[in-house]
Amino acid sequence: DQTPPPPAMGDPQYLVGSPRSNLERDGRDSAAFAIGINLMLSFVYDYLPYSPVSPTPTLSLAGALWVSDGVDRISRLPDVLLRDILSRLPAKDAARTVALSSRWRPLWRSAPLALVDSHLLPDGGAAGQFTLGAPSPRAVTDAVSRVLAAHPGPFRCVHLTCSTMEEHRGEMARWLDVLVAKGVQELVFVNRPWPLDLRLPATVFSCSSLTRLYLGVWRIPDTAAVPRGARFPNPLELGLCFNAMEDRDLAFMLERSPVLEFLVIMGSQTGVRLRLVSQSLRCLQLGYTYLEDIDVVDAPRLERLFQLGDFRQSELTAPSIKNCSSKIKIGRAPNLRVLGYLRPGEQELGITNTVIVVTMPNLICISAVSINNNANL
């Protein structure tokens, strides 16, 4: 019998593009697998940036002691200040201000809006993020579509993490079209599986207004087919969380982000080689990620390189990954001050023309202009 054995749990071809119905057919425990994926999703959600608005803000002491004399002083403020106030409210509360008076009615449409889909849930998102298999909240998806259609933009921030995007492909594509056309500064866009490798629309690469972008649980589109003129001229922060991507796709995003300062790669559905050439990047943070090679070729402003957490010894990890070490090569990084956390036997470190000073106690201080490549830790 020449039939190959089913791929090990954690292998890219098993995770990516596999329907849940295949689990039982291949003799896998679908319940255990769901637990593993939910664990990974919990880490993804932990790595996402906090929303700048909250449905349950803490009142200041001054506000609690203030006694109204019946005079509406807030409405007397200049439009620019009122718009700033509205931009700091959840979308639902900002929209409600149109009922206050004719003074407020036009302001909502002209204020940079903050839209967080979890705030549209009945509990305002207090129950936390959804787990694998939880029903997709259709009412929230519809509400997001209405808000994006009604507001002319721009959007201060948009966090979309509640919808199973496979069930709403049409809405998903329209959302990105609207955000590109109307302008969004901060976008957190996470697919709730299943599947794990739903292809992200390439429209996102034409959103030039972005200053912060986090993408989670997607198949990054083939950047070879993206127009060469596509670029992210403004993002200072890029987060890639548990995505399936090729080496060239990661290189494309870095090359097209000329002012990027902070890069987060949390998890990856496939092994990726990172070749870092950036004149702007200051911090690289890797979490629960298997990168086959990290090659810092030319990063003159890089100050910190963190590698936090590792699923390598998890039961969900493929043997082909468990038994491999990753290679970290530091070329030109004259401002690198922090490098960690490295595990003996799991990384091979090579440093050339770089001085690293370790300031934490009980750690070896590396201070050399040249260290032999592939020096095993």
pLDDT for the residue 133: 62
pLDDT for the residue 14: 46
Structure tokens, 96: 């409600």
> Under 8 Å CB-to-CB from 146, ≥6 apart: which residues?
none
Predicted TM-score (pTM) of the model is 0.81
Burial of 64-86, coded b for 16+ CB within 10 Å and e otherwise, reads eeeeeeeeeeeeeeeeeebbeeb
Phi, psi of 36 (to 5 degrees): -65, -45
DSSP letter assigned to residue 6: P
Structure tokens, 280: 């702007």
Centre a 10 Å sphere on the Cβ of residue 263 and count the other Cβ atoms it contains.
24
Q: Give the Cα separation of 168 and 191 in Å (integer).
A: 10
Structure tokens, 3: 């039939």
Strands lying side by side in the sheet with 347-352: 272-277, 291-298, 326-332, 347-352, 370-376
Q: Give the Cα separation of 113 and 337 in Å (integer).
A: 38
> pLDDT tens string for the chain (377 positions)?
444 444 444 444 445 545 566 666 777 666 777 777 788 888 888 889 988 888 776 655 455 555 566 677 788 888 899 889 888 888 888 888 877 778 888 888 889 999 999 888 877 666 666 666 666 788 889 999 999 999 998 999 999 998 888 888 999 999 999 999 999 999 999 998 777 888 999 999 999 999 999 999 999 988 888 877 788 899 999 999 989 888 899 999 999 999 999 999 988 777 778 999 999 999 999 887 767 788 999 999 999 998 876 555 555 555 555 556 677 888 999 999 988 777 666 667 777 765 444 444 433 333 333 333 333 33
**Beta partners for 272?**
291
Q: Give the Cα separation of 353 and 334 in Å (integer).
A: 8
E strands in 217-324: 237-243, 262-268, 272-277, 283-287, 291-298, 304-308
Cα 324 to chain centroid distance, Å, stands at 26
Q: Virtual CA dihedral for 2, 3, 6, 8, nearest 10 degrees?
A: 20
